[in-house]
Amino acid sequence: MGIFCAGVALAETPADVRDLVGVRASSGESALQSRGYEFVRTQKGDDRNWSYWRKPATGTCITVATFDGRYDAITSSPNDCGTANSGSTAAKVAGAALAIGAIAAIAKHEHDKEKKEERREREHATPDEVKNLPGTRGSSAENVLIRNGYRHIEGHARYTSKQNLWWNESRQDCLAISVYDGRIDSLNKVGNEQCSSHQDSNSHRQDSNAQSYSPAANITCYPAQKTCYRFGKGVDQYWTSIEF
């Protein structure tokens, strides 16, 4: 731990190039040259390149890590741009190892962070089976949604279509689904607060023994009767068993 902290302390970003972190490499090279830096050499890595630049006017030496075409990090590397008379070989090797080690540690941290974010996005992403529902019949779509952990929160008629909200607690996924002529017309992911507000409203209606409520498209349930009906088809045993 002590070695790592020392590396980070020695590998600070000089103030005159701090604003170049994140810019495209082509633009960064022009900016460095305009600020008096001279290119020294490049070292290639597995997923990024390191280039070394020297500023003769001040004797400043920097290491630039380039990743995916952009400057990912710029650090001070006093021993990486020296000439044959700038110190012992051992000192230069030690300084280079320290600077590269610090950069590698920073790069690994960023890489691990990106992987963690990608994994979280995959875990909470809407399943492909659900995203591909537009065009399918509403009844079939309901089965797919329920099978994937979604439950109906709210639905209302609007002109010739029906707008519905479906919520997945484990994925924290709120979907706005439009039904037209018995088929899914559109499916969009919306803010979780939309499902939360309607969910609270539904809970209040059910707890207060409202006359009826709709747990899914074309389904109406009556708490007093403990029975759910599908529009135009009568009692729906499936939803009755779920709700009561």
**pLDDT reported for residue 97:** 60
What's the whole-number mean pLDDT along residues 210-233? 80
**pLDDT reported for residue 78:** 86
Q: What does the domain layout of the chain look like in residue ranges?
A: 2-124, 128-243
Q: Which amino acid is at 27?
A: S
Cα 114 from chain centre: 9
CA 155 – CA 170 distance, rounded (Å): 21
**pLDDT reported for residue 65:** 93
CA 141 – CA 152 distance, rounded (Å): 12
The model's confidence at residue 180, banded by pLDDT at 50, 70 and 90, is: confident
Pick from 26-35, 57-66, 93-102: least confident: 93-102
CA 185 – CA 75 distance, rounded (Å): 53
Q: Examine the pLDDT at 66 and tell me if it is beyond 90.
A: yes
Q: Examine the pLDDT at 221 and tell me if it is beyond 90.
A: no
Q: Examine the pLDDT at 133 and tell me if it is beyond 80.
A: yes
Instruction: Calculate ∠ Cα 98-100-103, nearest 5°.
Output: 110
Helix axis angle for 2-10 and 89-124, nearest 10°, is 100
Q: Examine the pLDDT at 162 and tell me if it is beyond 80.
A: no
What's the whole-number mean pLDDT along residues 122-135? 78
Q: Examine the pLDDT at 39 and tell me if it is beyond 90.
A: yes
Percent of the residues in the chain that have a pLDDT greater than 90, as a whole number = 20
Pick from 64-68, 143-147, 189-193: least confident: 189-193
Pick from 19-23, 123-127, 186-190, 240-244: least confident: 123-127
**pLDDT reported for residue 179:** 82
